[in-house]
């Protein structure tokens, strides 16, 4: 087992990892930027090192500074959290060459799954349904046109190296397709340093269903059920639930088996997520695999009782899984809201600044994962997640009621947050009935592409 882990991240996920390490008797090192000197993760870790300026490129993405911090503090593992360097194959390789365990998959698996086209190709060969579309990067306008006409509009243009909901355009006709190609390629080059894009069928009104995978280094692989992440805005998740009201036992078993098969095909060892889009008629397609712990992991913890961060650390240390698929049972319902520093009444514009009043909900069925408190200055440099509010109950209805009263208790002032939007959603009868699709928020707010 590890004796000391450096947490190469900030905010709530750094706090989450440090807490798990403490409970496992592992010492921790926090890294921080000049903007995060007073961060909770800095206070909770056993040691802390400043790795650079406020911008992510100067600090949380600054590989030489992070590796130096790891060497100076003599750690034997690095936990990357999510975002930042968590899916950077080059960083994983450097860690290995310095004899420090990267707490995540091999650089090979990161590279393979980081390329959506390569991942789709592998899944097709493994017998997993993929969204119809091009199997290689688009080379010309004609190439794109032929694909779109073959699979029929609407189509979606996607960046092969895409992530975080960026680098995607929906098109309903040839004219839009040409524009989308150009803007997507430019955005992909600027954001991911890779301009490869592809075209696939745009599914209308699907649900986003993802399966949590857990695998050890000997190849034992299980799934921990699904998360329903259908409530999104601009392809970014806002609410996640486990389980999904769209799945029955039979469909859960089928999708779960395919998710495990997908993980095994990529020789995957650690925690990961296999993402699918599910149509109303029960057909579903693989879209991608995420090779890291995800923001929404607490809802799976809520229904399985398994601590995913501790399992991830155990797997990285070479321990074996110790249980089989049949040993895993799902109980109750858990829902998570991402409380972001954004103004939902003004196009979700960022809302950094000082939090003067902070009053967090609690009580039965509530978990809040956060790094903020009264007096905290929300920096403008990073993503806007302030807190994850997770409500649990025996049934979906009970979890929704717990969430409603927790949202009523939650006060974060004077900055703008997504709390009022969530209050609106949890009052909506359509949401209560579970009649949701990835277009739900657009419809609720009267937006759309
Ligand atoms: P990212 O890697 O940026 O998160 P994903 O491929 O995981 O991108 O897709 C994110 C979201 O975009 C999905 O949950 C879904 O809402 C939407 N999306 C992606 N592909 C399609 C598709 N073919 N049809 C309809 N929606 C899609």
Distance CA 359, CA 373 (A): 8
- Bridge partners (DSSP) listed for residue 242: 334
- Tell me the C-alpha distance between 198 and 330, whole Å: 37
CA distance 128 to 258: 7
Report whether residue 232 contacts ligand 1, using a CB cutoff of 6 Å.
yes
Residue length, the chain? 449
Cis peptide before 44 (omega within 30 of 0): no
Q: Is the CB of 162 under 6 A from ligand 1?
A: yes
- Judged by phi (left if over 0) then psi (alpha if -120 to 50, else beta), residue 305 lies in left
Average pLDDT over residues 233-261: 97
Angle, helices 107-114 vs 89-97, to 10°: value is: 170
Tell me the pLDDT tens digit for each residue of 351-370: 999 999 999 999 999 999 99
Q: Domains along the chain?
A: 4-103 (3.40.50.20), 132-201 (3.30.1490.20), 207-445 (3.30.470.20)
Contacts of 314 (CB under 8 A, 6+ apart): 1
Q: What is the mean predicted confidence (pLDDT) over 360-383?
A: 98
pLDDT (0 to 100) of residue 349: 97
The reply to whether ligand 1 has any atom less than 6 angstroms from the CB of 208 is yes
Pocket-testing residue among 277, 284, 383, 442, ligand 1, by greatest number of atoms within 8 A of Cβ:
277
The pLDDT tens digits of the residues spanning 140-154 come to 999 999 999 999 999
The closest-lying atom of ligand 1 relative to the alpha carbon of residue 200 is: 23
pLDDT of residue 427: 97
Q: Is the dihedral of CA 143, 145, 149, 155 positive or negative?
A: positive
Its pTM stands at 0.97
Residue 79 CA to residue 101 CA, distance in Å, equals: 9
Q: Check residue 448 and give its pLDDT.
A: 60
DSSP 8-state symbol, 48: E
Beta strand 155-159 pairing with 168-171: antiparallel
166 CA to middle of ligand 1, Å? Answer: 9
């Amino acid at each position: 087992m590890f004796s000391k882990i450096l947490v190469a991240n900030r905010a709530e996920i750094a706090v989450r990892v440090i807490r798990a390490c403490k409970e496992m008797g592992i010492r921790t090192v926090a890294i921080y930027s000049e903007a995060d000197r007073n961060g909770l993760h800095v206070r909770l870790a056993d040691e802390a090192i400043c790795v650079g300026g406020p911008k992510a490129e100067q600090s949380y993405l600054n590989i030489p500074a992070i590796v130096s911090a790891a060497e100076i503090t003599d750690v034997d593992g690095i936990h990357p959290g999510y975002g930042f360097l968590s899916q950077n194959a080059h960083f994983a390789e450097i860690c290995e060459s310095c004899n420090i365990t990267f707490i995540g998959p091999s650089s090979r698996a990161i590279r393979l799954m980081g390329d959506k086209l390569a991942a789709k190709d592998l899944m097709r060969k493994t017998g997993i349904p993929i969204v119809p579309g091009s199997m290689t990067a688009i080379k010309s306008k004609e190439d794109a046109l032929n694909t779109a006409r073959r699979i029929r509009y609407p189509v979606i243009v996607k960046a092969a190296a895409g992530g975080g909901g960026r680098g995607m355009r929906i098109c309903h006709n040839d004219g839009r397709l040409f524009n989308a190609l150009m803007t997507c390629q430019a955005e992909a080059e600027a954001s991911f340093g890779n301009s490869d894009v592809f075209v696939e069928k745009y599914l209308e009104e699907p649900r986003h269903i993802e399966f949590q995978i857990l695998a050890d280094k000997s190849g034992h692989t299980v799934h921990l059920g699904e998360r329903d992440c259908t409530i999104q805005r601009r392809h970014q998740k806002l609410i996640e639930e486990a389980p999904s009201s769209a799945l029955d036992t039979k469909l859960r078993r089928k999708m779960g088996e395919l998710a495990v098969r997908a993980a095994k095909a990529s020789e995957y060892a650690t925690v990961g997520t296999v993402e699918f889009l599910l149509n109303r008629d029960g057909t579903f397609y693989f879209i991608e695999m995420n090779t890291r712990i995800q923001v929404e992991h607490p809802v799976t913890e809520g229904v399985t009782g398994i601590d995913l961060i501790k399992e991830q650390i155990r797997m990285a240390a070479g321990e074996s899984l110790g249980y089989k698929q049949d040993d895993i049972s799902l109980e109750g319902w858990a829902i998570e809201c991402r409380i972001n520093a954004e103004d939902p009444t003004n196009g979700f514009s960022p809302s950094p600044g000082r939090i003067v009043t902070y009053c967090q909900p609690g009580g039965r069925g509530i978990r809040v994962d956060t790094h903020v408190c009264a007096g905290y200055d929300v920096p403008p440099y990073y993503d806007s997640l302030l807190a994850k509010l997770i409500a649990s109950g025996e049934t979906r209805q009970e979890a929704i009621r717990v969430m409603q009263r927790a949202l009523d208790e939650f006060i974060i002032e004077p900055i703008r947050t997504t709390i009022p939007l969530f209050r609106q959603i949890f009052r909506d009868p359509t949401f209560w009935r579970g009649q949701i699709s990835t277009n739900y928020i657009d419809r609720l707010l009267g937006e759309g592409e």
